Amino acid sequence: MAHNLNLDWNCALELEWARLGIAPVGHRGFCCLMLARRLVTETAGHPLKVLKEHF
């Protein structure tokens, strides 16, 4: 689970695996940012700080 999993997976993990010359480990998993975009419509955005203040 991650908030903004696409960023973590594509911009951090895949680059690091490529640098190390190893195959990807695990599965993408669950993105709570995507869930927040679907369910939390009353906020201007969905960064963790905004969600924390809202809840």
Q: What is the pLDDT of residues 34-55, one digit of tens each?
A: 999 999 999 999 999 999 999 9
Confidence bin at 4 (pLDDT 50/70/90):
very high
Region 15-27: mean pLDDT is 95
**31-40: string of b/e by CB count within 10 Å (b at 16+)?**
bebeebeeee
Mean pLDDT score of the chain? 94
3-state DSSP of 1-55 = CECCHHHHHHHHHHHHHHHHCCCCCCCCCCEHHHHHHHHCCCCCCCCHHHHHHHC
Report the C-alpha gap between 52 and 21 in whole angstroms.
38
Which sequence spans correspond to the domains of the chain? 5-54
